[in-house]
Amino acid sequence: MKAFFITRYGNSPAQFGDLPEPTLAAGQVLVDIHAASVNPIDLKVKSGEFKAFLKYKFPLILGNDLAGIVTQVGTGVTKFKVGDAVYGIPSNATMGAFAQQVAVNAADLSIKPSNLSMEQAAAMPLVSLTAMQALTGIAKLKRGQKVLIHAGSGGVGTVAIQLAKLMGAYVATTTSTANVELVKSLGADQVIDYKKEDFETSLKNFDVVLNSLDAQTLKKSVSVLKPGGHLISISGPPTPASADQMGLNWVMKQIMRMLSYSIRKACKKAGVNYSFLFMQASGEQLAQITTHIESGAIRPVIDRSFVFEQTNDALAYVESGRAKGKVVIRVRN
């Protein structure tokens, strides 16, 4: 099968070539991939940023989000049958979406939303699971609470705004001038144009902040929260609890303790909580998201679409930081 893969970490383009077709293990299904999408984590994995605690085998096929058709069902699988249209994310130990086929744990997939195309569906799994696990899992966001979502026009931001509004929250977001109308259309109640104003002077007494930006933005976000509030970051730094969640050893736990010391100290001084979110694949949670998509409460936001052979161009476009929402790859026409 054709795939985009790497044989070592670095900044060189991914290789495009033939690799053996996947073999099924118990509990897995084989999926013919019709569409995939690009996430910043694909670039971080490719460069080796996560090599200390995410142990991949080479050759490593890149890509997380996928949508496609089940062509084979492994032993013990009763959830899906051949011909089902599905979407989801391979578990963190594998990746593999930038290929014509992939073997995926059945527990990591859900039936594709009936009102979405393959490309639209492929744009949703990682960002929607991230938003759900942050807002419902960690923050336990309640109706009437106030949440600040940084980078509202990004992949996670576009879904998190919609999910937070669905949960009845007051939503503020940061974005650039060019994307103000986009985030308003997604339901944002208050938009901070970071080119014109500073969010930390405009926003106060928030219950939750979801950060996907740099360390400086993370630190500034502490002042936005009221005592007892929750600062959640998907861009780091990870905490000792993250090491436990990822099954890492004592040494890595101490490294994460040092990496997060400064922000944890600032949060403790302000009387707020800090969590790093390491998103987990979940077909069960995707099924809940499917319900919201099919009801029209949540919709994908897609910036550009690339054909399969242009996968490296799609990665470069996401790396440029210009994308609004998601960038998708048409693996099969």
Total Cβ atoms within 10 A of residue 214: 12
Same domain, 225 and 141: yes
Nearest alpha carbon to residue 286 among 157, 105, 152: 105
8 within a domain of the structure (yes/no): yes
Residue 84 and residue 152 share a domain: no
pLDDT at residue number 92: 67
Same domain, yes or no: 72 and 147: no
Does some domain include residue 294?
no
Note down the domain range covering 239: 126-276
Is 295 within a domain? Answer: no
Global model pTM greater than 0.95: yes
Note the pLDDT of residue 245.
Answer: 86
Taking the C-alpha atoms of residue 248 and residue 251, their distance in angstroms, rounded to an integer, is: 8
CA separation for the pair 124, 30 (Å, rounded):
20
Residue 54: burial class (beta carbons within 10 Å; 0-12, 13-18, 19+): middle
How much is the pLDDT for 91?
A: 84
135 and 266 housed in the same domain? yes
Taking the chain (333 residues) in runs of 10, the rounded mean pLDDT of each run is 97 97 96 98 94 89 98 98 97 89 97 98 98 98 98 98 98 97 98 96 97 96 98 95 89 94 98 96 98 98 98 97 95 91
Report how many domains make up the chain. 2
Last residue of a domain, one of 261, 276, 291: 276
